[in-house]
Every structure is written in C-alpha cells, then in structure tokens.
Amino acid sequence: SAVISQKPSRDICQRGTSLTIQCQVDSQVTMMFWYRQQPGQSLTLIATANQGSEATYESGFVIDKFPISRPNLTFSTLTVSNMSPEDSSIYLCSVAGPQGTDTQYFGPGTRLTVL
C-alpha cells in the first residue's frame, strides 16, 4: 500500500486568507483525490487530480475556490482560497489502490479551522 503524508497536519486561519495543503506519496501514482470531511460527517470528493492535466471538480466545488496543482506523479497541492468559517473541515488526499480494486489509500488529513 502507498504511504501518504500531508502538510500541515492542522492549522487555524483567519477568514479571507488562503491555505495550501500538500500531499506527498511514496510512489508514483496516476490519480490523486482530494476530499473534504466536515465536522462529524462523511467524506465528500472535491476533485480528482491527474498529473499533466487539469483537475476534475465535483458538483459544488470550483477551481477558483479550490485550485489544485499536480506537478508530478508523487505530489499534489490543494489551496483553500478566501476562507470562511464554513471551510472548517478535515481535508484528505488519497490515491487509487491496485488497478481493478476500486480501493483508495488515504493521507492522515489536514484539520483546518477558520476563525
């Protein structure tokens, strides 16, 4: 299984500012995913990030609010822009498991609090 790290692990930010979250994988992967987990809730997919192409966003999420970079096969960033308290969540990145398994491996998450 892939080992995934995220930075920062947590942060407290002021409204109106932006935060960039980093996701590093210990092996090369084609697809990376970014999720949001609001307090006490399940995971919601924000976007899928493939290396060398624009990220694909899910309904309700837009690039201006959540720009994503995918500069190589082991790294991705998610920026939460112009933050408001409603953006307070855990943000998780993941990578696809072995082909044909439909499984994913997750990073430990970034806990964001917006004041």
Partner 1 sequence: TQLLEQSPQFLSIQEGENLTVYCNSSSVFSSLQWYRQEPGEGPVLLVTVVTGGEVKKLKRLTFQFGDARKDSSLHITAAQPGDTGLYLCAGDGGTDKLIFGTGTRLQVFP
- Contact footprint for partner 1 (CB under 8 A): 4, 31, 33, 40-45, 48, 92, 94, 96-97, 101-109, 111
When the beta carbons of 14 and 40 are compared against partner 1, the nearer one is 40
Distances (CA, A) of 102 to 26, 34, 45, 96, 99: 20, 16, 15, 7, 7
Measure the CA–CA gap between 56 and 50, rounded to whole angstroms: 8
Contact, 73 vs 7, CB < 8 A?
no
Q: What is the closest distance, in whole angstroms, from the C-beta atom of residue 31 to partner 1 in the complex?
A: 5
When the beta carbons of 17 and 30 are compared against partner 1, the nearer one is 30
When the beta carbons of 19 and 46 are compared against partner 1, the nearer one is 46
Q: What is the closest distance, in whole angstroms, from the C-beta atom of residue 86 to partner 1 in the complex?
A: 20
Measure the CA–CA gap between 104 and 34, rounded to whole angstroms: 11
